[in-house]
Amino acid sequence: MDQGLLVFVTVVEKANFTRAAEALNMTQPAVSQYIQALERSMGSKLLERSNKFVRLNKAGEIVYQHAKGILVEYDRMRRLVDDLQNLAGGPLTIGASYTFGEYILPHIIAGLHKAFPLIKPSITIGNTQEIGNLILNRRLDVGIVEGELTSEQLAIEPVANDLMYIVSSPQHALAQRETVTDSKLKEATWIIREVGSGTREAADKMFAAFQWYPEKVMEFGSTQIIKEAVEAGLGISLLSQWVIRKELSIRRVKLLKCVNTPVRREFSLVTPAATLHTKAAQVFIHTVREYKNRLDGEFPV
């Protein structure tokens, strides 16, 4: 590995030569020499620096983005070679969209840790598009998302089915109805996720099936906040069976009976296409596939 790239990336992320030297267990003059050598090889200055700050210039931004990718690929290569002689272990970077990441993934990780304690998972939670982009940029080993991703650079495999229900507070006016008509749903205040979220995509598809869009909409960037808002009587929402399981059991929310519900969707396992997986990633993928049987159709409504 080019030590100069590692030094450069560390200086950028620490925004300080002294802190970078401490992190790399080097002297500050040695760090400066590596940066100067890299700038000579690039034929351009990469950093704007003074006594108060260190920041990237335009050339530096290009080198930083590519250097990060090179370091990620180097680490992946080293782990793959190490896997030839060792048991599954080491770092595993997992991305998940909110619903799966917050309500299902912890249970999978618990089982994985029991069977393979040497694997060290780190989890990134984001919306479907964010996770897809991180996998494309090789910042994550594997992801699990709801909604649709389309890219020839991604391998996408359905791994779980989900049912989504329209819910309200038990005190909401619509909760008192045996069935809720389209017109009443359209008039209600809807609380939905942001664009790019798989949950938002499912809601938009449902509205398209209804052939109308709500007149009053609030857009929140967190499923947990949406649940709290629904419980408080602020409006109604379309939420996953996994998200509302606990709230239903203690009667904090109520399912509304409507046509075209529940809404069905798939969760997909996403990895970089045509890429060798580390043993840790292989084990995780197998664990997710095995867990699928526990997820499908287990919601007692």
**Which tens digit of pLDDT belongs to each residue from 51-90?**
677 888 888 889 888 888 888 777 777 767 766 666 677 8
pLDDT digits (tens, 9 = 90+) for 138-159: 889 999 998 777 788 899 998 8
Q: Strands (DSSP E) along 126-192, which ranges? A: 142-146, 154-168, 189-192
What is the per-residue burial (b if ≥16 Cβ within 10 Å, else e) of 235-255? Answer: bbbbbbbbbbeebbeeebbbb
Give me 293's structure tokens. 């049987």
Give me 36's structure tokens. 């100067």
- Position with higher pLDDT, 297 vs 85: 85
Nearest residue to 183 (alpha-carbon basis) of 258, 247, 117, 128: 258
Nearest residue to 169 (alpha-carbon basis) of 263, 220, 99, 239: 239
Alpha carbon distance 34, 205 (integer Å): 53
If one counts every other C-beta atom within 10 angstroms of the C-beta of residue 128, the result is 28
H/E element holding 78? helix 58-83
If one counts every other C-beta atom within 10 angstroms of the C-beta of residue 5, the result is 19
How does residue 161 score in pLDDT terms, banded at 50, 70 and 90?
A: confident
Q: Give the pLDDT mean for 163-173.
A: 94
Q: Are 255 and 64 in contact (CB under 8 A)?
A: no
Q: Give the pLDDT mean for 84-108.
A: 85
Of 1-15, 117-131, 197-211, 244-258, minimum mean pLDDT range: 1-15
Q: Are 231 and 257 in contact (CB under 8 A)?
A: no
Identify any residues that bridge with 56 across adjacent strands, giving them in sequence order: 47
State yes or no: pLDDT of 233 exceeds 90. Answer: yes
- Position with higher pLDDT, 220 vs 21: 220
Q: Exposure of 126 by Cβ count < 10 A (0-12 exposed, 13-18 middle, 19+ buried)?
A: buried
Q: Are 92 and 121 in contact (CB under 8 A)?
A: yes
> What's this model's pTM, rounded to 2 decimal places?
0.66
Domains and CATH numbers, the chain: 3-83 (1.10.10.10), 90-158+273-295 (3.40.190.10), 161-265 (3.40.190.290)
- pLDDT, position 301: 45
H/E element holding 258? none
Alpha carbon distance 78, 301 (integer Å): 48
Amino acid (one-letter) located at 289? R
Secondary structure letter of residue 296 according to DSSP: T
User: Which residues lie closer than 8 Å to 251 by C-beta, 6 or more apart?
Assistant: 170
Does the N-terminal peptide bond of residue 262 adopt cis geometry, omega within 30 degrees of 0? yes
Q: Are 55 and 47 in contact (CB under 8 A)?
A: yes
| Pairing outcome for strands 189-192 and 216-219 | parallel
- What is the maximum alpha-carbon separation in the chain? 75
Highest mean pLDDT among 116-120, 177-181, 228-232 belongs to 228-232
Alpha carbon distance 93, 95 (integer Å): 7
